[in-house]
Chain A
Amino acid sequence: MELNRKLEILADAAKYDASCASSAAAKKDSRGSTGVGSTGGAGICHSYTPDGRCVSLLKVLLTNTCIYDCHYCINRRSSNVQRARFTPEEVVQLTLDFYKRNYIEGLFLSSGIIRSADHTMELVIEVARKLRVEHRFRGYIHLKTIPEASPALIELAGRYADRISINIELPSEKSLLTLAPEKNLARTQEAMGHIRNKIDERYAEKTKSGAPKPPPFATGQSTQMIVGADDSTDSVILRRADTLYTGYKLRRVYYSGFSPIPEPSSLLPIQAPPLVREHRLYQADWLLRFYGFQVDEITTDSAPNLDLALDPKLSWALRNRDLFPVDVNKAPRESLLRIPGLGVRNTDRIIQARRFTRLRLADLILLRLSMKKLLPFIIAADHTPTLLGLDGDALRSRFLPPPKQMELDFDTPKPAPEDFKSVLSGEI
């Protein structure tokens, strides 16, 4: 099979993995070397595809042949998709060629499971070893690891990679048992625990003064959960994410809305969940990580799923009107962070500025804050919201999108451009 055809098959096979981040790697570059590559800093998206996703890494599978039968996956053994396999040299050459043209930040390599977890891991590691050792490649490498692979191999993968990840795929053991009979939640979390210990250990060695520099190790791990392939509620999904952040210190949990695949399984829903559900989960995820929210504040027993029409912070504020209005000139940081329409960055700007001046609405407008969202919830030097506004039932409807004729489109409703911006800037 010629290289172009292999690339078609093995890129297509890899696209359901949402992660493409190239950030948060250790700072390194090629000065003093004869190779190419650098990492550290924010990560760069070198292109965008019309699905709105960033193209940062060459994201491919080594092979899409797989002995597992995960029903949401196009590469499962029951699928009739055409199979292909790269040689390690082919992936190495593609990575270097793409990198030198500044198409990519590096490589994200994953693979179908062939023969056994260890055998597959060895093949994946061989690509990373060639890049790092033979070609002195210092760009970004993300390796997908398999929970059942031996700890020694996972450790070796971590030596060459900037990030390693294991996909948890579904938030509960029950769902995995039905849809991914070869996977197991406890084993996956156990492997994540090992990786976390290794990362912590290496970090401790690195920061110890006087000690020799330890060999490199990945600086983070991430995972992905598929949304809408099983019947898990947002509450179950967010609780699982919270466990992974607090117990296993994951850098990122990616939520991937289940989308139709060319090889559908008889066990799966044919209807994809609305894309906005995935978007609301990301917003809720941000609230957990940067805004001091708990899962049971964001979702409740009576409403275990996020409101698709309103962002989760606004929904929370509307349920907790007694905590508002908040005085932007006096309130502590944790209260400011809970104001709808106010992000982390602007919260910190407000805290800095109010040491020297009493903030008025004109100041907040200069920060380009959305007044429509903010006004009912804040007190400023020249503004107190009318009690009527905060207590009235009209408040919720004020924020709902205007009624629209139903769209005859399979991916309704669409989030607005501001929603994307807010996800990117972390401002909710």
Chain B
Amino acid sequence: MTTIIIQPIFESWRDAARDLLRHRVPPEEVLWSDGTQGKPLFGSDRPEESATPGPAPRVPPAFLDMARTAAAHQDPRRWAFLYRVLWRLTHGGEKHLLLLATDPDLRQVRQWCKTIGRDIHKMHAFVRFRLVGTDEATGREQFVAWFEPEHRIVRLASSFFEKRFVGMDWSILTPYECVHWDGASLFFTPGVSRESAPDSDALDDLWRTYYANIFNPARLKIQAMQSEMPKKYWKNLPEASLIAGLISDSRKRVQAMLETAARPVKPVPKNAYLESLHKMNEEAADSSD
């Protein structure tokens, strides 16, 4: 049995896995440890040198994409699952494995990918930038956001922000890693605590005004809202403080609508354009009779 100690990042797993494959070490002989569960009791961190290493086998790019994504998940079993899938694809002779949606190993890895994909998507959606100032030299506006992703997705999620918010300086702070953009490059720094990020923005009030007024009280679907915007995100969303009030007032508001007397139809005002429309409609009705 070989114990492999890696950093909890994809690149570290990939280097180790490549080495193991070249030495043809089967998955059942490897224990993976990424330092997040404490030190293993025994074992070495290198495969035994007795075998002559072969060339690293090639794998489909789709596997690397999948592995990179799954690696961001917090589940400690991910390294072993990924190596087992990799082994089966290469030495195991199951080249078609990625097409087998019903395979339990693949199913589990895909499940992690899905969770990560969703976490990234929600980060793209729910990050809220707050204006903190303007750079005196460049005149660029500077924004800071605070976000708490469930998994280690900051690097995977960053290119979206890089392509979108080019014309402003910004930082996204999270508990384990931060990302920054200064107009020229993207860079990463260690995580910080909540207090490092601003609490509000002058525009938050206008945004809440919009949120409250785009809501239609006549069609309450609280479940549908919560399944897409789970409560765990609410504490960092400026609009979320309105939700309870909007829900509790809705019935009263609809009742008021239903009790409002119907408005009579007002006479058509004199307007040349309206007359031309009505004439066109009459002609169309005549010709279709």
Contact = CB atoms under 8 A, between A and B. Distances in A.
A102 B277 CA distance: 42
Contact of B273 (A58, A115, A262, A357): A115
A420 B137 CA distance: 50
A355 B99 contact: yes
Interface of A: 3-4, 7-9, 11-12, 14-16, 29-38, 42, 44-55, 58-59, 67, 69, 71, 77-80, 94, 97-98, 100-103, 115-117, 136, 139, 148, 173, 177, 181-182, 184, 186-187, 257, 259-268, 270, 272, 275, 349-350, 352-353, 355-357, 359, 363-364, 366-367, 410-411, 414, 417, 420-421, 424
Interface stretch (B9-17, B47-55, B76-84, B262-270): B262-270
A33 B203 contact: no
B284 A184 contact: yes
Given A38-B163, A260-B258, A352-B99, A67 B271 contact: yes
Given A3-B206, A50-B221, A102-B128, A30 B167 contact: yes
Interface stretch (B37-45, B101-109, B187-195): B101-109
B281 A35 contact: no
A29 B278 CA distance: 45
A52 B224 contact: yes
Interface residues of B, number: 80
B213 A15 contact: yes
Interface string B183-224: 000000000000000000101011101111111111111111
Contacts of B278: 181-182
B62 interface: no
B112 interface: no
Interface stretch (B22-30, B64-72, B85-93, B119-127): B119-127
Given A38-B160, A260-B257, 4 more contacts: A50-B220, A100-B129, A100-B165, A356-B96
Nearest to A260: B257
A58 to B, nearest CB: 7
A105 to B, nearest CB: 9
Contacts of B131: 100-101
Contacts of B215: 15, 49-51
Contacts of A11: 209-210, 213-214
Contact of B221 (A35, A52, A349): A52
B102 A367 contact: yes
Interface of B: 96, 99-102, 104, 107, 121, 124-131, 141, 143, 145, 160, 163-168, 201, 203, 205-207, 209-225, 227-229, 237, 239, 243, 246-247, 250, 254, 256-258, 260-266, 268-269, 271, 273-274, 277-278, 280-281, 284-285, 288
Nearest to A97: B203
Contacts of A260: 218, 254, 257-258
A148 B276 CA distance: 11
A392 B26 CA distance: 53
Nearest to A271: B258
Given A36-B168, A53-B216, A100-B165, A263 B263 contact: yes
Contacts of B107: 366
A36 B145 CA distance: 17
Given A47-B237, A411-B220, A417-B227, A186 B284 contact: yes
Contact of B166 (A34, A51, A268, A272): A34
Given A35-B167, A44-B121, A275-B221, A49 B214 contact: yes
B213 A100 contact: no
Contacts of A101: 128-131, 143, 201, 203, 207
B213 A265 contact: no
B163 A31 contact: yes
Contacts of B228: 45, 48, 54, 424
A244 B223 CA distance: 32
8 contacts: A8-B212, A30-B163, A47-B211, A48-B228, A97-B206, A260-B258, A265-B262, A420-B224
